[in-house]
Structure 1
Amino acid sequence: MIQVSEALTIVAENSSKMPSQIIAVGKALGYVLAETVYSPIAMPPFRQSAMDGYAFRHSIKHQYDVVSISQAGDHSNVKLKENEAIRIFTGAFVPDDADTVVMQEHVMANENSILIAKMPEQFANVRAKGEQINKNGIVFEANTLITPAAIGFLACLGITEITVYKKPKVAILVTGNELVKPGKKLPKGKIYESNSVMLQAALQTIGVNKAKVFKVKDNLKATKKALKNILEKYDVVLISGGISVGDYDFVKEALLKNGVEELFYKINQKPGKPMFFGSKKETLVFALPGNPASSLTNFYVYVYPAIRNRMGFSDIHLPKLARKLNAGISNSSGKTLFLKALYNETHVTVLDSQSSAMLNTFATANCLLIVPNDVENLKKEQLVTLLPID
């Protein structure tokens, strides 16, 4: 059995990045850049008007003859004299002889001339060429997450394809003869299976939207066969249940018989102690406890950073926050505790019902409060470390 810090190090060291692929910008949402992107053009590519109004050469004069018009998309480089202006609209090309745009609300206009009632500063309301980015400037560094705004920015630069890390193919294998699919009649002695849909939802928060679910009966032969097929086709395998030391827990044996290298088994923590982490070639395997709260805790602490690492993120772990305790905590277990809790801007409250089988408080919690294994008592108002899961 190893400590949490050692387990985290082993997971990070063994989660290599996925291969890269070229993808259309419009389909890149949620992917992470594998290469730095440079701009093929300046943006804006010419001086633009930031307002609807009039472009002119700034001077002490207030009255100007209107000699032309410039709409968005036009490129009429009119030669302006000192006493001349052009009608211009937002996003339109600003002629070389003009250096300022006065907004239309600040002029008195007739058909052929304007009188500026409120003179703007020189260069006002003119977007310089390359104001957002110059040609060959860095658009995004490698390891940047592609968001809707990033897609829009790439498109406005004329970029149609980018190189990203592939998203890992994830399989979820559910074990347990006692499990029944939600929606079906529940016989005596059975419980509804919830871990697979819970883990699928948790994966979606990272950007893995398609995780395949497999189910297997609690026997060694079936478990070994199911794992053989899954290990050949998936990049990350999550197994729910069957990893403890009961008579019907066959997962660890089946993994070893399939050539999976054990990197660690059991962590000095509560909940979530009986977890197996291993690998076969580039495929990562997490055998998670069957108890729902234990399974989800270990997902956030270990699976989450492993998958983010594979996807190319720079910051792979959940962020850590510090808050003051609303009430004291004792820890006589000698284990690291991950407690379901609620935090606000200043304080954190540990919730009731911390059992590894109970999801009711997990469903209302917005963080996991970490109590280190070597800390026996935490006092009210003491600063503690949280992992936000909201």
Structure 2
Amino acid sequence: VRHRGEVIRDGQLLAKKGEIITPALIAALATGGNTTVKVFPRPSVSILVTGSELVQVGTKPERGQTVDSNGLMLSALAEQDGLPVTSLDRAGDSLEKHKSALSIACESADLVVTSGGVSVGDYDFVARAITESGGEILFHRVLLKPGKPILAARIGDTWIIGLPGNPISALVGWRLFVSPLAEMLMGCEGVFNRDSVLAELTDTVTNKGKRPVFLQGNLFLRDNRLKVADVSWKGSHDVVASGKANTLLFLESKAEVKAGESVLCYPNKWKELDYLMKND
């Protein structure tokens, strides 16, 4: 026997603005008699990979060339976040090619994510292409490693996040900047300060540098306690290490965290929960 009004009362608020509509919340809304609700649409994403040195996957790179792995990775990250990808394009190393590709990307998406061309080299044209296209740079370069050259900008109503070309830098940038921004555009709140967990280190880890660093790590449960092991890596180009990791592990500058102490971790969203149940 269920009493009338014991679950939902007349006039009761069932969902606040900015809440994610989950399957369970759909059931509550339906039970309350709601046939339609107003929602923020998922922002569309256009991905622009820069660099004349890039060749397609399956093509043997010649001297001075490298395979374009970022295009596929960023497309997969967008799909993981439920963001429709309107285009995936490449721009060669010239200002005019960057401006043309950027203009096409902005016309078709709410959010443009670029890869490469954001540092200070002779062929890094992304920032200049944005400003010469009438855009505004909101910030350029951040105090973290990897990913220092990241930029954020707007051209009209279109948001732009410029990620570095090194794959791990791009991966970190998506996790910390692109994914939260997309959630913000969907009406979510507090997106830049969530989805992190504390875990116990299995071994002592040191950051001798002047910038905070995000290392590759593996989270797992042991004796009902969340632990994290550092994954050895060779730098921001080491895609093999990132392929084995399931979290980013944060260390402040010039910090040493000893085994057994807690560190802040940012789990990769594509790893299922049962992955954490496995011991190392």
The TM tier, using the shorter chain, reads 0.7 to 0.9
Give the SS at the match of 1:322: strand
Match of 2:198 in 1: 322
Give 1:139 shift. 2.3
CA deviations 1:120-154 (Å, max 9, x no partner) are: xxxxxx12222331233222222121122333443
Give 1:357 shift. 0.7
5 Å-filtered alignment, 1:11-30, equals none
Give the SS at the match of 1:224: helix
Q: What amino acid sits opposite 1:186 in the alignment?
A: K
Q: 373, 378, 382: which is aligned to 2:257?
A: 378
The answer to whether the 8 A contact 1:336-1:370 is kept is: yes
Match of 1:353 in 2: 233
Match of 1:227 in 2: 102
Are residues 1:333 and 2:212 paired? no
Are residues 1:207 and 2:55 paired? no
Give 1:212 shift. 2.2
Q: What amino acid sits opposite 1:369 in the alignment?
A: L
Are residues 1:164 and 2:43 paired? no
Q: 52, 65, 76: which is aligned to 1:177?
A: 52
CA distance in 2, matches of 1:350, 1:187: 32
Q: What amino acid sits opposite 1:372 in the alignment?
A: E
CA distance in 2, matches of 1:354, 1:135: 60
Residues 215 and 149 of structure 1: is their aligned pair in 2 closer, same or farther, counting only changes over 3 Å? same
CA deviations 1:255-296 (Å, max 9, x no partner) are: 111122112211222111111211223322111001111101
Report which stretch shifted further, 259-268 or 205-214.
205-214
CA distance in 1, matches of 2:244, 2:51: 27
Give the SS at the match of 1:150: helix
CA distance in 2, matches of 1:350, 1:246: 32
Q: What amino acid sits opposite 2:230 in the alignment?
A: V
Larger radius of gyration: 1
Match of 2:243 in 1: 363
Q: 188, 211, 216: which is aligned to 2:62?
A: 188
Match of 1:59 in 2: none
More helix, by proportion: 2
The answer to whether the 8 A contact 1:200-1:211 is kept is: no
CA distance in 2, matches of 1:142, 1:167: 15
Give 1:193 shift. 1.4
CA distance in 2, matches of 1:353, 1:211: 33
Give 1:310 shift. 0.9
- Unmatched 5+ residue regions in structure 1? 1-125
Give 1:172 shift. 0.7
The answer to whether the 8 A contact 1:200-1:209 is kept is: no
Q: 131, 136, 143: which is aligned to 1:261?
A: 136
Give 1:180 shift. 2.1
Match of 1:247 in 2: 122
Tell me how large the CA RMSD over aligned residues is.
1.9
Residues 354 and 342 of structure 1: is their aligned pair in 2 closer, same or farther, counting only changes over 3 Å? farther
For this pair of structures, how many residues does the alignment match?
Answer: 263
- Unmatched 5+ residue regions in structure 2? 272-280
Match of 2:169 in 1: 294
Match of 2:150 in 1: 275
CA distance in 1, matches of 2:246, 2:94: 37
CA distance in 2, matches of 1:209, 1:286: 16
Q: What amino acid sits opposite 2:261 in the alignment?
A: Q
Q: What amino acid sits opposite 1:351 in the alignment?
A: V
Give the SS at the match of 1:387: strand
Q: Among all aligned residue pairs of Structure 1 and Structure 2, give the percentage whose two residues are the same amino acid.
A: 33
CA distance in 2, matches of 1:321, 1:153: 29
CA distance in 1, matches of 2:187, 2:244: 30
The answer to whether the 8 A contact 1:277-1:287 is kept is: yes
The answer to whether the 8 A contact 1:340-1:354 is kept is: no
5 Å-filtered alignment, 1:69-108, equals none
Give the SS at the match of 1:229: helix
CA distance in 1, matches of 2:227, 2:201: 6
